[in-house]
Amino acid sequence: MTLAPEKVDEWTVDTLDLDAYLHRIGQDRAKPSAAALRELAKAHILAVPFENVDVVLGQHKGIALEDVIGKLVHRHRGGYCYEHGSLFAAAAEQLGYPVRRLVARVQPQKNGPYTHMTLAIEADGVQHLVDVGFGAGMLVPMPLVDGAVVDQAGWPHRLVADGDRWRLQKKEGEDWTDLHAFTLTPMHRIDYEVYHHYTSTHPRSPFTGQLVIMRLEEGRSRKLVGTEFIVERPDGTTETTQIPAGRLDATLRELDVVLTEDELAKLLTIYPG
């Protein structure tokens, strides 16, 4: 099935200065193709961190594209799935890719909520799952083909079709664990506003009560969750370090999150380390 391009007016795609975005991630304009999409997604993930600092500080401006651009492109900050997804979708559409914005249920085996923004993008006549906002998860797109297995920075991931639902899985030992589940039902901008409101304000949201910062690269995943700095490798080895308040700024910078003096000072007043 071929993806029909969405109406872009709803998403204010023209708000994005494409050249500024490409400069941010170190890429040049390229004709749409599966190979170019792979490089674009990988460059985005390597350049733009997954982080929820503004949510923790109670100062998140929202997920309007102009606010996302100001933060992720011009301030060189990161964000979470709605910010990553909306920014990448706008860039992909300007480059000529058909894009469909989707929502996924995180950890479906645990009855997780439908709150994760992900994308289906067509390249070379094939739909791909492009998940640039899933933290230390996917590094490159995956073809929407039942049973497709793609190496993600050293960790095998698989897509499984289940009726009209797709499941993204990660291999852990000899088993496959569901990460999220989604359909190809397109979303509207207001849908993400609702999801974002829950994710950024509800006391049971995993993002309101602690720092969640993630970086993924070939052979290594780094995370700051609460006060724990966790380094994971594909061979199963894990290193966990407690980060005291005096090391917080240096750790954030190591993860490519650079705050203003006021932001850091405010964060230190609530940081439990």
How far apart CA 183 and CA 120 sit, in angstroms, is 10
Q: Choose among 142, 141, 183: nearest CA to 159.
A: 142
How far apart CA 42 and CA 111 sit, in angstroms, is 30
Q: What is the DSSP string of 231-257?
A: EE-TTS-EEEEE--GGGHHHHHHHTT-
How far apart CA 178 and CA 68 sit, in angstroms, is 29
How far apart CA 218 and CA 152 sit, in angstroms, is 8
How far apart CA 245 and CA 44 sit, in angstroms, is 29
CA distances (Å), origin 174, targets 66, 124, 154, 162: 44, 33, 15, 21
> Can you name the residues that pair with 103 across neighbouring β-strands?
117
Enumerate the active-site residues: 81, 116, 131
How far apart CA 217 and CA 102 sit, in angstroms, is 25
DSSP, collapsed to helix, strand or coil, labels residue 82 as helix
Pairing of strands 165-172, 175-182: antiparallel
Check if the beta carbon of residue 124 is closer than 8 Å to that of residue 98.
Answer: no
* Helices of type H across the chain: 18-25, 34-47, 53-57, 65-68, 81-95, 189-201, 248-254, 261-270
